[in-house]
Structure 1
Amino acid sequence: MKRDIELAVQPPAVARPPRRSHFTPARIGIYLFLISAALFFLVPLYVMLVTSVKPMAEIRLGNIFALPLAPTVEPWRNAWQAACTGLECEGIRGGFWNSVKITVPSVVLSIALGAVNGYALSFWRPRGANLLFAVLMIGAFIPGQVMLYPLVRALAAVELYSSLPGIVIVHIVFGMPMMTLLFRNYYAALPQELFKAARIDGGGFWRIFFALMLPMSTPVIVVALIMQVTNIWNDFLLGLVFAGSDNLPMTVQLNNIINTTTGERLYNVNMAATILTSLVPLALYFFSGRWFVRGIANGAVKG
C-alpha cells in the first residue's frame, strides 16, 4: 500500500529529447565555407613564404607548393637593401622609412581632427552642423580619382606638391570624413547626461573633451587607428601622385622592384619584398585585433 502511494505521488518521467548530431548539414556547410575562406587567404601567403626562402634554382623547377630544399634568407636581404627600384639599387628600406614618415603624422592628425569634429557634432551642434556633416559625408563617398587633379593644382599653388607635407595633407583630407563619421556615431551613443553634468560643473569645450570624452574613446580610437594605418600604409595611388620622388612610400617602391625589367626576374626577392611591405598592417591586426573587435562591439561603427 505504502509503495503504491509513493509511486502515485512521484512525478511522471520526462522524456529526454533526442540527442542531436553535431554534424548537421548546416554545420557541415558552415565549416566547409570557413575552411574554404581560410584556404583562399592562406594558400597565397604560404606560396609567398616558401618562395621567398628558395634559391632561384629551385624556383625554376616550377613546383610552387614544394618546401625549400636549401632555405636561404638572401632574398630577404636583397629585398631590404639591394633590390633595384629603378635606377637605384638600395632595396625597399628607403620606402619603409618614407611610409613611416607619411603614416605617423597622417594617422595622428586625421584621428585627432575626426575626434574633435565628431565630438562637436554630437554634443555642441553649432549652427549649420547638419549641413557640415552632410558635406563631410559626401566627401567620404566621392571617388578619390575625381579629386586628384584639383588637389594637384591646389598643392602646386601653395608649393606643397611632391613634398612630405603635401602627401600628409592629402591623407588627412581623404581620412577626415570617415573619421568624423566614426567618432560622431560613437559619441552619439554616449549618455547625454554625462555631457550635461560636465557643463553644469563649469566644463568648457576643450576641458570636457580631454577630461571626459577622450578617456572613454579608447575602443573607437583603436578602430580608427587600425583603419587609418591600413589605408595609408597600403596606399599606392596617392603616394605615387603626391609624394614626389624623394618620399615614395613602400608600396610604390614595391611596384618598382616587381616591374623592373633589367636582368632575370627574381621571384624570391619579389615575394620577400611583398611580405616586408605588408608586415606593418599584419602586425597591427595581430596585436590589436582584440581591441578592434571590442571597439566594434561597443558601437564604434554603429550609426
Structure 2
Amino acid sequence: MNGPALQRVAPADVETLSRPRSTAGAAKRKRRWSPARLGIYAFLVSAALFFLLPLYIMLVTSVKPMDEIRAGNIFAFPLQFTLEPWRQAWSQVCTGAACEGVKAGFWNSVAITVPSTIIPILLGAINGYALSFWRPRGAGMLFAVLLAGAFIPVQVMIYPLVRLLATAGVFGSLPSIVIVHLIFGMPMMTLLFRNYYASVPHELFQAARIDGGGFWRIFLQVMLPMSTPMIVVAAIMQVTGVWNDYILGLVFAGRDHLPMTVQLNNVINTTTGVRQYNVNMAATILTAAVPLAVYFISGRWFVRGIAAGAVKG
C-alpha cells in the first residue's frame, strides 16, 4: 500500500516543490535588475571612470610625441608609440639647476621613506602594546596627548620644528626629515596599534604572563607575530603619506635630499624652454608608481587590518 501511495504523491510533490524554486529564481532575477541595483552599478562605474580617466590621459600622453599632443585630441591612442618621454623623465629632464631627471629624487624618497616607515611602526606598536596591556601610570593622559597630536595641522608645527632642528644642528639633512615624519606619524601609528591590541583577548596576555613572559618577550614572541594585518595597514598609510609629502620634504630635507614630489614640482613648473607635456606625464606616473604598487600588492591585508582594528577601541 505504501508503494502506490508514494507513487501517486511523488509527482504532485515534485510539481509543488518546483513552483517555489522557479518563483524564487524569477524574484532573484527581478531583484538583480532592480532600479536600486542599477543605480548602484551606475554610481560605481561613474566613480571608477572619474578616477581612471585622468590616469588614462596621463598614460596615453606619456607615450605620444609632441606633434600628436599638439593636435589636441588628448583621448586618442598614440599613432606613434614612444618611450622616449619616460627615458627623459627618469634621467634627463631638468629638476632645477641639474638636468638628471627624477632618478635622484626617487632614491632620495626611498632613503626618506624606509626609516620613516619602519621606526614609527615599531614605536607605535610598542606604545599601543604598552597602553593596551601594561597600562602604566598616566596611560590615559599619554594616549590623549598622542591622539590630539594626530589632529594638529602640519603647517602649525613647521616653524617651531625648524627652530628646534636648527638649534640641534640637523636642519636640512636626511635625519631632519626622518625625525619630522617620525613625529607626525607616531600618534596615528599608536592609535592604530592600540585599537588593534584592544581586540586581542586579554586571557592570552595573562597566559603569557603566567608562563613567565616579560614585557619584551610577550611583545616579540606573542603580540608582534599576531600584528601582521595591522603592520601592513600602518605600512601602507605611512609609505603613502611620506612618499606623497611635499611641504615637509621641501622645508626639512635640504637641497641634497629633496624627495621625488619636490623634484616633480620643479619639472612641471619650469619656465625655460618648450613645455613637454609627455615628459611631465611620465614623471608624474613615475612619482605615483610606488604608492600605487604598495597598495595594489597588499590591498587585501589593508582591508583585513582595518576590519580587525575596528572591533574595539
TM range (shorter): over 0.9
Cα offsets for 1:41-69 (capped at 9, x unmatched): 11100000000000001100000001111
Task: Indicate the residue corresponding to 1:178 in structure 2.
Answer: 188
Partners of 1:302 and 1:197 lie apart in 2 by 21
**Superposition deviation, residue 301 in structure 1:** 7.8
Query: 5 Å matches for 1:127-138?
Result: 127-138=137-148
Instruction: State whether structure 2 residue 39 is matched by structure 1 residue 29.
Output: yes
Cα offsets for 1:66-102 (capped at 9, x unmatched): 1111111110000001101111111000000000000
Instruction: State whether structure 2 residue 52 is matched by structure 1 residue 49.
Output: no
Instruction: State whether structure 2 residue 207 is matched by structure 1 residue 204.
Output: no
Instruction: State whether structure 2 residue 95 is matched by structure 1 residue 85.
Output: yes
**Superposition deviation, residue 300 in structure 1:** 6.0
Contact 2:198 2:312 (8 Å CA) reproduced: no
- Match for 1:237 among 242, 247, 250? 247
Aligned residues: 303
Distance change >3 Å, CA 101–CA 260, structure 1 → 2:
same
Contact 2:86 2:283 (8 Å CA) reproduced: yes
Partners of 1:302 and 1:284 lie apart in 2 by 27
Contact 2:68 2:78 (8 Å CA) reproduced: yes
Task: Indicate the residue corresponding to 1:158 in structure 2.
Answer: 168
**Superposition deviation, residue 287 in structure 1:** 1.1
Cα offsets for 1:247-302 (capped at 9, x unmatched): 00000000000000101100000000000001101111111112112222333686
- Match for 1:13 among 13, 16, 19? 16
Task: Indicate the residue corresponding to 1:190 in structure 2.
Answer: 200
Task: Indicate the residue corresponding to 1:107 in structure 2.
Answer: 117
Q: CA RMSD in A?
A: 1.9
Task: Indicate the residue corresponding to 1:169 in structure 2.
Answer: 179
Task: Indicate the residue corresponding to 1:215 in structure 2.
Answer: 225
**Superposition deviation, residue 7 in structure 1:** 6.5
Instruction: State whether structure 2 residue 67 is matched by structure 1 residue 64.
Output: no
Partner secondary structure for residue 141 of structure 1:
coil
Q: Which amino acid aligns with 1:270?
A: N
Partners of 2:86 and 2:230 lie apart in 1 by 36
Q: Which amino acid aligns with 2:309?
A: G
Cα offsets for 1:194-249 (capped at 9, x unmatched): 11111111111101100110110101001111110000000001000110111000
Partners of 1:36 and 1:150 lie apart in 2 by 44
**Superposition deviation, residue 5 in structure 1:** 10
Distance change >3 Å, CA 77–CA 301, structure 1 → 2:
farther
Contact 1:99 1:250 (8 Å CA) reproduced: yes
Partners of 2:133 and 2:312 lie apart in 1 by 17
TM-score (norm 2): 0.92
Contact 1:164 1:243 (8 Å CA) reproduced: yes
Name structure 1 gaps, 5 residues minimum: none
Task: Indicate the residue corresponding to 2:266 in structure 1.
Answer: 256
Cα offsets for 1:146-181 (capped at 9, x unmatched): 111111111011011111000000000000000000
Q: Which amino acid aligns with 1:101?
A: A
% identity of equivalent residues: 71
Partners of 1:51 and 1:280 lie apart in 2 by 20
Query: 5 Å matches for 1:259-298?
Result: 259-298=269-308
Query: 5 Å matches for 1:135-150?
Result: 135-150=145-160
**Superposition deviation, residue 4 in structure 1:** 8.8
Partners of 1:143 and 1:78 lie apart in 2 by 37
TM-score (norm 1): 0.95
Partner secondary structure for residue 255 of structure 2:
coil
Q: Which amino acid aligns with 1:247?
A: H
Distance change >3 Å, CA 219–CA 280, structure 1 → 2:
same
Contact 2:192 2:309 (8 Å CA) reproduced: no
Distance change >3 Å, CA 173–CA 5, structure 1 → 2:
closer
Contact 1:219 1:300 (8 Å CA) reproduced: no
Partners of 1:283 and 1:80 lie apart in 2 by 18
Cα offsets for 1:121-153 (capped at 9, x unmatched): 000000000000000000001111111111111
Q: Which amino acid aligns with 1:50?
A: V
